A and B are shown apart, each in its own frame.
Chain A
Amino acid sequence: MATGSVLDFTTETEGDTTVVIPAGRIDGSTASPFQESLLKLIEGGKGSLVVDFENIEYISSAGLRVLLLAAKQLQAGGRKIVLCAMRDHIAEVFKISGFSEILAIHPTRQDAINAG
Chain B
Amino acid sequence: MKTALPRLSVDLEPELSSALKDLAEAVARFGEANGLSEAQIHNLSLALDELATNTISYGFANADRQELRVELRIEADEVVAQLDDSGIAFNPFEEVAEPDLHASIDDRPIGGLGVFLTKTLFPNPDYERIDGYNRVTLRAPVKGDC
Contact = CB atoms under 8 A, between A and B. Distances in A.
A102 B53 contact: no
Contacts of B91: none
A104 to B, nearest CB: 11
Interface residues of B, number: 35
Given A60-B50, A97-B117, A98-B99, A65 B111 contact: yes
The B interface, classified by DSSP as helix, strand, loop or mixed, is helix
B83 interface: no
Interface string A97-116: 11001110000000000000
Size category of the binding interface on chain A? 20 to 34
Contacts of B9: none
Given A58-B45, A98-B102, 9 more contacts: A4-B16, A27-B53, A29-B20, A60-B49, A60-B53, A75-B105, A89-B38, A98-B103, A102-B103
Interface of B: 13, 15-18, 20-21, 24, 38-39, 42-43, 45-46, 49-50, 53, 56-57, 99, 101-106, 108, 110-111, 113-114, 116-117, 120-121
